Amino acid sequence: MTTTAQLFEEPFDADEYIERLAWRTPGGGSKGGVEAFDPKRLLEEFENHIEELKQLDEKIQRRVEKLEHQCHREAKEFAHKVQDLQRSNQVAFQHFQELDEHISYVATKVCHLGDQLEGVNTPRQRAVEAQRLMTYFNEFLDGDLRSDVFSNPDKIKEAADIIQKLHLIYHDLERQLIQEFTAAQRRGEIGRMREVAAVLLHFKGYAHCVDVYIKQCQEAHVREKLDDTRHSDVEQYLRNLYDLYTRTTLLATKLSEFNLGSDKHTFLSKLIKSIFSSYLESYIDMEKDYLRTRGAMILQRYYDSKNHQKRPIGTGSIQELKERIRQRTNLPLGPSIDTHGETFLSPELVVNLLQETRHAFERCHRLSDPADLPKNAFVIFLLLVEHLCVEHIDYALEIGLSAIPSSDAKNANLYFLDVVQQANSIFHLFDKQFNDQLMPLISSSPKLAECLHKKKEVIEQMEVKLDTGIDRTLNCMVGQMKHILATEQKKTDFKPEDENNVMIQYTTACAKVCAYVSRQVEHVRKSMDGKNVDTVLTELGVRFHRLIHEHLQQYNYSSMGGMLAICDVAEYRRCAKDFRVPLVLQLFDTLHALCNLLVVAPDNLKQVCSGEQLTNLDRNLLHAFVQLRVDYRSARLGRHFS
């Protein structure tokens, strides 16, 4: 089998190739059987074929080497051609750049030349145009229109253009004359003003000349009143601005009644705006600075008159934690200060702050742009809250809370109720100004919700401190009662040595406690108003009853001692009537009924326990009172509760 390169083309299978070679070799295949198989012949054929394959491989290898050499030679030639093309391209690009620079240079020269030609030609054209307009203007002055452009109907557009240009010249000249009039007025040259006004008399702008004169006079008057005080005396500046603006708007209202033209209202409003615009733009900033400074000065002047250095009110997590503990436990965290009865609330100071704020609201209403009025009014309200509610009322409440003694203090002076009374009075004034002066300015704007929210927030913060102070004050009152009972009540009061010689109606301790309670009830009534009186007196009455109830359970009672206890409770009940609170009176009625158990005959004890006032009480409570009798064991009274 002749060996050629075509035999090895893809797909090539070596096993199939050898099988085909063996089959074509005589004696090499299975044809003819085993007897016809000749291995030597097959080996010889294989060796010859291997030689042919080697020769074919050498031939192909030489051809490959020849092609590779040719490929390398052509690659070098192509690379040389590419390099030559790149050099040619670079040279062409350089020539292009030189050409572009030359074109730019020529274009610049052409533009410069054009500008020079235009600079020469434009003045010439303007001069020609001016000469032509002057010729036409002379014709108008002479009253003899000789030019064809005014007589030829076909040139009506050109005639209109000429008249328009003359009209522009007229307006420019009129503007220059008005400017000259204004400058002369500022320099105070009356003669020059008279000359210019005489010329303007024949112009339409003469009325504008009059407007300028009025405006300059107004501005001069306004500047004279305002500029001198703008930085030296802000209070006087704000008063002058309010007064001048009010009088000017009133004058404009009166002038609008006269025949000043169809747009008289627009003209007058623009005139006022042009005079006051620079002052109105900065008004609210000046107002804020003045109120902030004035409020701080009023506060400081008051505290200086009291020789009081304001204490910093603590803030932060530790202070908040102390406040929460104090509110829930009434523990005196921190030292208690002695204010010597001073509430640190001043009606005079409050009136001054509210008066300043009232004037500020009036100025705000008059001087603010309608769109900015609610926002500016809200700013003033926040300053009032800061000075009156935070710096004065809230500070006084903090001082008042710090001055409340502990509940076990002896002979404690309780001034916090005076603080409550004055704080309520002040807040009523604050609320009145809120409704009377602030509400009309913000009632129809989104700022209303913000103001109401801020007011509610301030009220809630003060109510928390008022409630805390009142609660601690009530605790002090109860502590004082407890101290009176502990020092004045003797064990022998209810177990007298001589049962037949008891001449008193009630004990000394009871008399002193009732006198103290009556004073405190009267104090509460003077310090509170409305439903707050009943609320506080109800709480005080409940605590008063609890104290007496617990106090009575500390003693043992003989028959006469029980009668004396009943007399004490009757006196306590009479004192409780001053509260005018049904619940408190009912509690003492029940306590009086309980004390009857101390003196009732043993045989009637069960019947009394079933009475109207005691039948609904816990039997353990009834039993506890009966156990206080000295004859509890001897009379075997416990059997009635078994």
Q: What is the DSSP string of 409-438?
A: -SS----HHHHHHHHHHHHHHHHHHIIIII
Domain positions in the chain: 14-142, 158-262, 310-319+339-483, 489-640
Topology of the domain covering 489-640: Methane Monooxygenase Hydroxylase; Chain G, domain 1 (1.20.58)
Cα dihedral 275→280→282→288 (10° resolution): 150
Q: Kindly report, residue by residue over 180-229, the tens digit of the pLDDT.
A: 766 776 676 777 767 766 666 665 555 566 566 666 655 656 666 777 77
Low-confidence winner among 132-146, 416-430, 593-607, 624-638 (lowest mean pLDDT): 132-146
CA atoms of 100 and 380, how far apart (whole Å): 70
Give me the percent of the chain exceeding a pLDDT of 90: 37
Q: What is the pLDDT of residue 317?
A: 45
Q: How many Å separate Cα 508 from the centre of its chain?
A: 60
Mean pLDDT of 260-289: 76
With a CB cutoff of 8 Å and minimum separation 6, the contacts of 602 are 631, 635, 637
Q: Kindly report, residue by residue over 159-170, the tens digit of the pLDDT.
A: 676 666 666 666
> 586: part of which helix (H) or strand (E)?
helix 582-595
Compute the chain's Rg from CA coordinates: 57
Q: Kindly report, residue by residue over 469-519, the tens digit of the pLDDT.
A: 999 999 999 999 999 999 999 888 888 876 665 556 888 999 999 999 999
> 381: part of which helix (H) or strand (E)?
helix 373-384
Q: What is the pLDDT of residue 205?
A: 54
Beta strands in 165-315 (DSSP E): none
The residue type found at 488 is E
Q: What is the pLDDT of residue 271?
A: 72
Q: What is the pLDDT of residue 224?
A: 66
CA atoms of 265 and 134, how far apart (whole Å): 41
* Mean pLDDT (the chain, rounded): 81
Q: What is the pLDDT of residue 467?
A: 93
With a CB cutoff of 8 Å and minimum separation 6, the contacts of 237 are 226, 229, 230, 286
Residue 354 confidence class, pLDDT cut points 50, 70, 90: very high
Q: Kindly report, residue by residue over 103-136, the tens digit of the pLDDT.
A: 888 888 888 887 777 776 667 766 666 666 666 6
- Does the pLDDT value for residue 604 go beyond 50? yes
Cβ atoms of 508 and 570 within 8 Å: the answer is no
Residue with tokens 């008059």: 366
Q: What are phi and psi of 417, to 5 degrees?
A: -65, -30
Q: What is the pLDDT of residue 540?
A: 95
